[in-house]
Amino acid sequence: MSDESLREITLESKTMFQGKILNLRVDTVRLPNGRVATREVAEHSNSVCIVPIDHNGDVVLVRQYRTPVKGALLELPAGGVEEGEVSEETVQRELQEEIGYRAGKLQHLSNFWLAPGWCDEYMHTYLATDLIESKLVGDDDENIVVERVSLDRALELIGNGEIEDVKSIAGLLLAMRVLRDN
C-alpha cells in the first residue's frame, strides 16, 4: 500500500496556543474514505538525544524532575535544536550545559519521530565519545543531577523500568549495537 493511498488532506488548521517551546493546533482533515476528522497537533522544534560515553566506558545520564509525569526521570542528555543551528552544534551545546563536556567524536546513530500520533518533534540521536571537560551555564529552568552507569547497568535499568523515557531507551539500544560491533 502506498503512502498516497493513506494521505489525509488538511481542510483547515487553527492555532490554539503559542508557547515558548511548543504550539498547539487543531487540524480538520479529509480521510481517504471521504470522512472528515479532527487532529490535535503539538508543534515542536527538532531535537537531539546524546549517548555520552566517558573514558571508563560508562554512559553519562541526567536525572531531572519532569512535571508532566510528576517525578524525576533518569535520561540521556537531550535538547531542542535552536533556529539556525544544525544538530551537531546542538549536541555540543547540550553536552556542555547538561553534563559539562564536549565530544571529541560524534557518531550519528539514527533519527526518529517521538510521538507521531500527536506531535511533529523529530529527534536526531548521536553517540558522543572522547569527552573533554567544557562547561556552559545550563538553562535557568533546569535542575539536573549527573549520574554515570555502565552500559550493562543501563540495560538493566531499561529492563526494570528505572529508565522509562523513549528517547533514552532508543538511544541506549542504538548505541549498544554500534559499540558491540566495534
Check: CB of residue 95 under 8 Å from CB of residue 50. Answer: yes
The strand pairing partners of 11, in sequence order, are: none
Could you tell me the residue range of the domain that residue 36 belongs to?
A: 3-43
pLDDT digits (tens, 9 = 90+) for 62-77: 999 999 999 999 999 9
CA-CA-CA-CA dihedral for 156, 162, 79, 117, to nearest 10: 100
Domain count, the chain: 2
The strand pairing partners of 65, in sequence order, are: 72
Task: Note whether 36 and 53 are same-domain residues.
Answer: no
Task: Note whether 16 and 62 are same-domain residues.
Answer: no
pLDDT digits (tens, 9 = 90+) for 70-129: 999 999 999 999 888 888 999 999 999 999 999 999 999 999 999 999 999 999 999 999
Kindly report the three-state secondary structure assignment for every residue of 117-166. CCECCEEEEEEEEEEEECCCCCCCCCCEEEEEECHHHHHHHHHCCCCCCH
Task: Note whether 138 and 69 are same-domain residues.
Answer: yes
Taking all residues of the chain, what is their mean pLDDT, rounded to a whole number? 94
Task: Note whether 55 and 87 are same-domain residues.
Answer: yes
Task: Note whether 10 and 54 are same-domain residues.
Answer: no
Mean pLDDT, residues 38-66: 97
In the structure grid, which three cell numbers stand for residue 34, read together?
471521504
Task: Note whether 115 and 130 are same-domain residues.
Answer: yes
Show Cβ contacts of residue 3 under 8 Å, excluding neighbours closer than 6 positions: none
Task: Note whether 95 and 22 are same-domain residues.
Answer: no
Task: Note whether 81 and 17 are same-domain residues.
Answer: no
* CATH classification of the domain holding 71: 3.90.79.10
DSSP summary character for residue 10: E
| Chain CA centroid to CA 27, Å | 25
Task: Note whether 57 and 32 are same-domain residues.
Answer: no
Q: Distance between CA atoms of 49 and 52, rounded to whole angstroms?
A: 10
Nearest to 125 by CA among 159, 155, 162, 94: 94
Task: Note whether 34 and 76 are same-domain residues.
Answer: no
Per-residue pLDDT at 6 exceeds 90 = yes
Whether the model clears a pTM of 0.85, i.e. scores above it, the answer is yes
Q: Distance between CA atoms of 146 and 138, rounded to whole angstroms?
A: 13
Task: Note whether 90 and 128 are same-domain residues.
Answer: yes
Mean pLDDT, residues 170-179: 96
Per-residue pLDDT, 55: 96
CA dist 160 to 65, 154, 169, 178, Å?
A: 19, 10, 12, 23
Check: CB of residue 44 under 8 Å from CB of residue 119. Answer: yes
Phi then psi dihedrals of residue 67, to 5 deg: -55, -45
Task: Note whether 36 and 112 are same-domain residues.
Answer: no
